[in-house]
Amino acid sequence: MRITPFLRQNAQSASAALRERVRRPALLNRLADAADLVPLFKDDDYIGWSGFTGVGYPKTVPTAIADHVEANNLQANPETKKKFNLFVGASVGPEVEDRWARLDMIARRYPHQVGKDIAKGINAGRIDFADKHLSMFPQDLTYGYYSLRKRHGDPRKPLDWAIVEATCITEDGKIVPGASVGATPEILQSAEKIIVEVNTLIPNLEGLHDINQSFVPPYRQPYLIKHVKDRIGEPAITIDPDRIVAIVESRYPDNTGPNAPENDESRAIAGHLIEFLLEEVSAGRLPKNLLPLQSGIGNVANSIIGGLADGPFEQVQVWTEVLQDTFIPFFDSGKLSFATATSIKFSPEGFEHFYANWANYKDRLLLRSQQVANSPEIIRRLGIIAMNTPLEVDIYAHANSTNALGSRMLNGLGGSADFLRNAKLSIMHTPSSRPTKTDPTGISCIVPFASHIDQTEHDLDVVVTEQGLADLRGLSPRERAPLIIEKCAHPDYKDSLREFHTNFMEHGTMKIKNWD
């Protein structure tokens, strides 16, 4: 673990901003340039990064490693080639992860990713990837399930390295994350050596987080959360400071980009959902302020949250994975009383507004680890209303969230199934069709049978498209199929879906006479 030769900086060279953020002075003696740390990383290392949905991930050290690999053309020679096993709570910025993929630096990746180049590497077989329920990934990491074939380093530690972004290090060496928590606590717990990038470009977000220590059976503890606001942990991540081998100052923003824009389809879906929620309140199945909401990411989720900001519900609460830009006007409207998540994925403009008005939001917002935010135990106890977007849903209410045409991996399962299997109301929303290069409705999102199944018919209560909403509660498969076709399918595909269903039910065959 000795890296003294690489630490060419010293405490006196630390910037004033860094000295303010690193409140344990001894750690400033481990200040380093990212480029000087590159020789420490060996082929086949197991590396964990902080980050979730492109927020709170390390930038300087991964970039320095990629710069070194590219500048020295290491990947052209099998003797010098370096490939790493990469573990992150979810996705990170494309300027680091996609660049690593382009340079063929990733051997394995778990459990969720977003990026064109890493998806190409996975589908071409250059990168071994397996997705996992996001609530389960951190625990499986601490169990050692991902390091069973690890060939060097401390066998007691699943990871050789943790590289994490922080906004502060406290007097007792605890790490204050940025705008995401994700699997960072478990990645730090699992790592033999730790490098901390302290980002002095963004504010110190101390007080925003509620962090729990992760235990393994038989010592696991219940999460004693009965209300969205409940705190059960600490405001920072506890680690052994002796495992920190280097501190690096970072001044790079998260590369989030703009949020997906709303359109007529997404607004129509949001309208159907809000009408449905009003009916549930009128029937007495939901309280007037609803139950805590979980919303995925994308333009449909943005439209739903935007619709709620303009809608009739007051004192709404949110228990979700990710907050997007539309949550800002939801807060500002006074209708959103409190939100808890594991990540804040605002656009650059959204973050600018958020940081400038930090005092207005800090007491109405809490970030937790993904193991807690996605905990089935808590989701079921709070009665979450879960809303997520699939690739396709079949007429029996099986959903495919991951694999186009059954085998082409897009991003991974994420946390949708954590919520959909355990929520009080489990809702899948999708456009009824998607365009191809030659046809604006060339792909139906309502299909006879899903080409890959992530959420089963047992997990979904409601399917909604811009065409309408199908309430599936209490229905048999025979009853669901015609309802989904009539309410949710695009008119271009209704006849084909009806014929498929009728042939199978009446004649015992999936074959249809013709496709015209």
Residues annotated as catalytic are 321
State the Cα–Cα distance between residues 199 and 407, nearest whole angstrom: 39
- 87 contacts 188 by C-beta, under 8 angstroms: no
Kindly report the number of other CB atoms within 10 A of residue 282's CB atom. Answer: 9
CB 373, CB 211: distance < 8 Å: no
Length of the chain: 516
Under DSSP, the state recorded for 197 is E
Both tokens assigned to 251: 């001044």
Q: How far apart, in whole angstroms, are the C-alpha atoms of residue 85 and residue 83?
A: 7
Q: What's the rounded Cα separation, in Å, for the pair 116 and 120?
A: 6
CA distances in angstroms from 484 to 406, 414, 430, 475, listed in the order given: 21, 25, 12, 11
Burial bucket for residue 206 (CB in 10 Å: 0-12, 13-18, 19+): middle
**Which ranges of 12-149 would DSSP assign to H, the alpha helix?**
16-21, 34-37, 60-71, 97-102, 116-123, 137-143
The secondary structure element, H or E, covering residue 162 is: strand 159-166
Nearby residues of 375 by Cβ (< 8 Å), 6 or more positions away: 135, 223, 418
Three state DSSP letters for 404-461: ECCCEECCCCCCHHHHHCCCCEEEEECCCEECCCCCCCCEECEECCCCCCCECCCCCC
DSSP bridge pairs for 239: none
The 3-state DSSP class for residue 401 equals: coil
